[in-house]
């Protein structure tokens, strides 16, 4: 199986969440990826807290250097647009960045790893795992 990590999973890993770290270390690095959307969200969080970023940046850089980084593609965009529209029609939207991540996972046939399973469970066809458990 191939996995796409949600931003909260990257944060869990960096903060030392034992279950997430253990699971991530048990999966071959070639089977793990993050979207450029997650890279942006992590960079945003670190820009808000430069002092904390100095401590966490080496851990983030090591993680991102060991897994596949996925640029957001046209196919990802089409899938994300369809996800966002379908959820809006049902009156159960998710955040726009979450729609981008779900679209990326769907377009590429990846299992989406998140701690936010309630929100992403609304996305039809999205395979989800929670590594916090």
What's the whole-model pTM score?
0.95
Neighbours of 66 (CB within 10 A): 11
**pLDDT tens digits for range 42-88:** 999 999 999 999 999 999 999 999 999 999 999 999 999 999 999 99
Q: Which residue has the tokens 């992403």?
A: 120
Number of compact structural domains in the chain:
1
- CATH of residue 13: 3.40.50.1010
Q: How far is CA 34 from CA 85, 87, 113, in A?
A: 23, 23, 10
**pLDDT tens digits for range 76-123:** 999 999 999 999 999 999 999 999 999 999 999 999 999 999 999 999
Please, is 113 exposed, middle or buried when counting C-beta atoms within 10 Å of its C-beta (0-12, 13-18, 19+)? buried
Domain carrying residue 125:
3-129
- The token duo for 32 is 């793990």
């Amino acid at each position: 199986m191939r996995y796409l990590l949600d931003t909260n999973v990257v944060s869990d890993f960096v903060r030392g969440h034992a279950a997430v770290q253990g699971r991530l270390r048990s999966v071959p690095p070639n089977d793990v990826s993050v979207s450029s959307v997650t890279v942006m969200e992590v960079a945003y969080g670190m820009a808000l807290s430069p002092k904390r970023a100095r401590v966490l940046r080496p851990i983030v850089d090591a993680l991102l250097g060991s897994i596949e980084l996925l640029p957001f593609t046209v196919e990802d965009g089409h899938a994300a647009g369809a996800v966002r529209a379908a959820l809006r029609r049902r009156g159960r939207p998710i955040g726009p960045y979450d729609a981008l991540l779900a679209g990326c996972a769907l377009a590429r046939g990846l299992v989406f790893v998140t701690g936010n399973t309630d929100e992403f469970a609304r996305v039809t066809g999205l395979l989800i795992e929670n590594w916090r458990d």
